């Protein structure tokens, strides 16, 4: 490694922090370099890899107060209690013991230590062999043991390497008293600058510090940029991936589809999710015994009917059309039953009935419900888009042209049409688009021109082109899914894998 401009700013900060001592514990290095723990740990790995530093585990001893040490500190060490007793006038051992100031097993050691501390003098009665105790001049001085214990009380923990010579002696003495002091062996990594590391800082590190890392508005406006040395930036270095909160990809597709409709001159309409059977089926010339109306296909809302669902003339004219066209007894009770709408065509037809437009471009997007078994192809609840165009001379050709435009805007170029059947359109078509990935044609949506049996009872004179398609189908194509349930699985890994904008 010869060129230090190839070092990352974190690496440079670390080397700079290490320079004065040549070595530091990780904790001290974090402080000295003024970086986060994480940055320091990463930087250390990089520098180790480059051979600019080395790290090794160093062990050290930490001391703290033991439980007995704590107790004794509170009530006074035995030697301290002894001196206090003497000062209070208890001059003989008998009186000290009698007054319960020290226990008999403490007293000999206490005398020895108090003497060593020069806290007491011993003397003898002239008349007998009895020893008498006298407080000496140093009796009020704290002993080294007391000082160390008190310091530990305040600091909680100390490393033995931080102790002064006196404290070290005190520690030796305290070690002899069980449970006064607790000692723990610990390890930490110490980082050492290698020779290569020293060399690399030595040469040009001084002017490195004056290198400018960021281009600020000040540097530009003051014209200072002409004099400043900019450090180089690795513009192709990878960055951490960001996963901010975002809209669900399906909602992105819905937004995109709305944009497309608007760009084609369409206006959005909305309608209720629950509908009377009348608007979901009857107004669309779907006979009351049609299989789609059965419970196996449609969710009915039990216990609720809608009594005033349409005007009496609308009901009259539509029931007439059913009687004539399908030859059966139309039953108003069937029309009153409430359903979870099975298609957005119910919204379309209501809009047409209410507004009777001569020409219009309208779309709606919303949830629809089908009583189906959930599988890789089917959900019981999905989103449908519906478009209608009415104009005096609208034709099937216009409808197919519109589909081509619509799908082209979604990036789908290959499309074809297939005849099919819906009770409410004639002719009816199904659009198929070519899926390059699957290498096959897939069914997209249904469409057609509303039959006179649909338009005439509602007073619509011009042809109405209509089409509907499931949004989930479009999303599956876009995201390359072959199971529609994946869209609703909330699989975070998948959700995160989808770029918010396609590059």
φ/ψ of 59, rounded to 5, equals -100, 155
SS3 of 302, please? strand
Q: What binding mask, one character per residue, do residues 378-417 give for ligand PHE by CB under 6 A, x or -?
A: --------x-------------------------------
311's tokens: 């005007």
Q: Does 4 bind ligand PHE (CB under 6 A)?
A: no
User: For 373-424, where are the E strands, in sequence order?
Assistant: 381-390, 415-419
CB 277 within 8 A of CB 415: no
Q: Please report how close the Cβ of residue 435 comes to ligand PHE at its closest, in angstroms.
A: 19
Return the residue of 197, 271, 448, 457 that touches ligand PHE, per CB under 6 A: 448
Q: Please report how close the Cβ of residue 238 comes to ligand PHE at its closest, in angstroms.
A: 46
* Cα separation, 191 vs 58, whole angstroms: 10
* Cα separation, 226 vs 212, whole angstroms: 12
Q: How far is CA 99 from CA 82, 89, 130, 139, 172, in A?
A: 12, 11, 18, 21, 32
Q: Please report how close the Cβ of residue 386 comes to ligand PHE at its closest, in angstroms.
A: 6
φ/ψ of 63, rounded to 5, equals -115, 150
Which one, 197 or 468, has the nearer CB to ligand PHE? 468
Site for ligand PHE in 316-345 (CB under 6 A): 343, 345
CB 188 within 8 A of CB 26: yes
Q: Please report how close the Cβ of residue 305 comes to ligand PHE at its closest, in angstroms.
A: 23
Q: Please report how close the Cβ of residue 430 comes to ligand PHE at its closest, in angstroms.
A: 9
For residue 427, is the peptide bond before it cis, meaning its omega torsion is within 30 degrees of 0? yes
Count other Cβ atoms within 10 Å, centred on residue 362. 22
> Which of 39-47, 69-77, 358-366, 445-453 is the region at the interface with ligand PHE (rule: CB under 6 A)?
445-453
Q: Please report how close the Cβ of residue 469 comes to ligand PHE at its closest, in angstroms.
A: 7
Q: What binding mask, one character per residue, do residues 62-101 give for ligand PHE by CB under 6 A, x or -?
A: ----------------------------------------
Q: Please report how close the Cβ of residue 450 comes to ligand PHE at its closest, in angstroms.
A: 8
Q: Please report how close the Cβ of residue 262 comes to ligand PHE at its closest, in angstroms.
A: 20
Return the residue of 4, 364, 425, 455 that touches ligand PHE, per CB under 6 A: 425
* Cα separation, 431 vs 434, whole angstroms: 10
Residue with tokens 């480059």: 50
CB 83 within 8 A of CB 113: no
Q: How far is CA 496 from CA 55, 243, 411, 481, in A?
A: 38, 7, 23, 15
Count other Cβ atoms within 10 Å, centred on residue 437. 8
> Which of 22-30, 197-205, 227-235, 443-451 is the region at the interface with ligand PHE (rule: CB under 6 A)?
443-451
Q: Please report how close the Cβ of residue 348 comes to ligand PHE at its closest, in angstroms.
A: 7
Q: Please report how close the Cβ of residue 345 comes to ligand PHE at its closest, in angstroms.
A: 4
Q: Give the sign of the dihedral formed by CA 91, CA 94, CA 96, CA 102.
A: positive
User: What DSSP string describes 256-299?
Assistant: HHHHHHHHTT-EE----SEEEHHHHTGGGT--TT-GGGSTTTS-
Return the residue of 339, 400, 444, 447 that touches ligand PHE, per CB under 6 A: 447
* Cα separation, 52 vs 201, whole angstroms: 10
Which one, 13 or 286, has the nearer CB to ligand PHE? 286
Scanning 88-138, the segments in alpha helix (DSSP H) are: 93-98, 104-116
Which one, 120 or 447, has the nearer CB to ligand PHE? 447
Please work out, in degrees rounded to the nearest 5, the angle formed at the alpha carbon of residue 398 by the alpha carbons of 396 and 402.
120
* Cα separation, 273 vs 344, whole angstroms: 9
Q: What binding mask, one character per residue, do residues 204-243 give for ligand PHE by CB under 6 A, x or -?
A: ----------------------------------------
Site for ligand PHE in 451-480 (CB under 6 A): 466-468
Q: Please report how close the Cβ of residue 299 comes to ligand PHE at its closest, in angstroms.
A: 15
Number of residues counted as binding ligand PHE (CB under 6 A): 11
Determine the straight-line distance between the first and last CA of the chain, rounded to whole angstroms. Answer: 37
Binding site for ligand PHE (CB under 6 A): 343, 345, 386, 422, 425, 446-448, 466-468
């Amino acid at each position: 490694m010869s060129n230090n401009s190839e070092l990352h700013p974190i690496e440079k900060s670390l080397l700079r922090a290490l320079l004065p001592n040549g070595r530091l514990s990780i904790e001290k290095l974090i402080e000295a370099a003024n970086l986060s723990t994480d940055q320091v740990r990463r930087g250390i790995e990089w520098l180790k890899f480059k051979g600019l530093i080395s790290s090794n585990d160093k062990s050290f001893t930490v001391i703290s107060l033991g439980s007995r040490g704590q107790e004794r500190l509170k009530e006074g060490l035995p030697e301290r209690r002894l001196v206090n007793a003497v000062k209070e006038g208890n001059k003989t051992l008998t009186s000290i013991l009698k007054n319960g100031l020290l226990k008999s097993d403490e007293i000999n050691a206490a005398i020895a230590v108090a003497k060593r501390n020069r806290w007491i003098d011993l003397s003898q009665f002239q008349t007998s062999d009895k020893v008498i105790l006298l407080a000496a001049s140093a009796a009020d001085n704290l002993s080294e043991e007391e000082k160390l214990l008190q310091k530990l009380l305040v600091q909680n923990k100390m490393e033995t390497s931080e102790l002064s010579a006196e404290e070290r002696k005190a520690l030796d003495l305290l070690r002899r008293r069980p449970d006064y002091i607790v000692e723990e062996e610990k390890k930490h990594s110490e980082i050492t600058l290698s020779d290569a590391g020293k060399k690399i800082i030595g040469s040009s590190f001084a002017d490195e510090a004056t290198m400018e890392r960021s281009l600020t508005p000040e540097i530009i406006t003051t014209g200072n940029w002409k004099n400043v040395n900019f450090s180089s930036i690795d513009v192709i270095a990878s960055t951490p991936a960001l996963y901010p909160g975002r809209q669900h990809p399906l909602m992105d597709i819905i937004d995109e589809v709305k944009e497309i409709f608007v760009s084609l001159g369409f206006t959005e309409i909305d309608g209720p999710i629950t509908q009377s059977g009348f608007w979901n089926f009857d107004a669309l010339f779907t006979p009351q015994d049609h299989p789609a109306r059965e419970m196996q296909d449609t969710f009915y809302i039990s216990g609720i009917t809608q009594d005033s669902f349409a005007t009496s003339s609308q009901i009259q004219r539509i029931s007439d059309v059913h009687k004539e066209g399908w030859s059966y007894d139309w039953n108003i009770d069937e029309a009153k039953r409430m359903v979870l709408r099975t298609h957005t065509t119910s919204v379309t037809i209501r809009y047409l009935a209410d507004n009777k437009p001569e020409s219009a471009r309208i779309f709606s997007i919303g949830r629809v419900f089908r009583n189906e078994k959930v599988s890789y192809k089917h959900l019981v609840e999905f989103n449908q888009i519906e478009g209608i165009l009415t104009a005096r001379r609208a034709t099937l050709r216009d409808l197919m042209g519109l589909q081509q435009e619509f799908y082209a805007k979604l990036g789908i170029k290959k499309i074809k049409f297939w005849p099919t059947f819906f009770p409410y359109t004639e002719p009816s078509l199904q659009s198929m688009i070519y899926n390059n990935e699957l290498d096959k044609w897939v069914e997209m949506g249904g469409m057609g021109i509303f039959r006179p049996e649909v338009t005439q009872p509602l007073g619509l004179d011009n042809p109405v082109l209509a089409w509907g398609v499931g949004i989930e189908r479009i999303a599956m194509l876009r995201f390359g899914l072959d199971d529609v349930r994946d869209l609703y699985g909330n699989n975070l890994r998948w959700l995160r894998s989808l770029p918010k904008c396609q590059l």
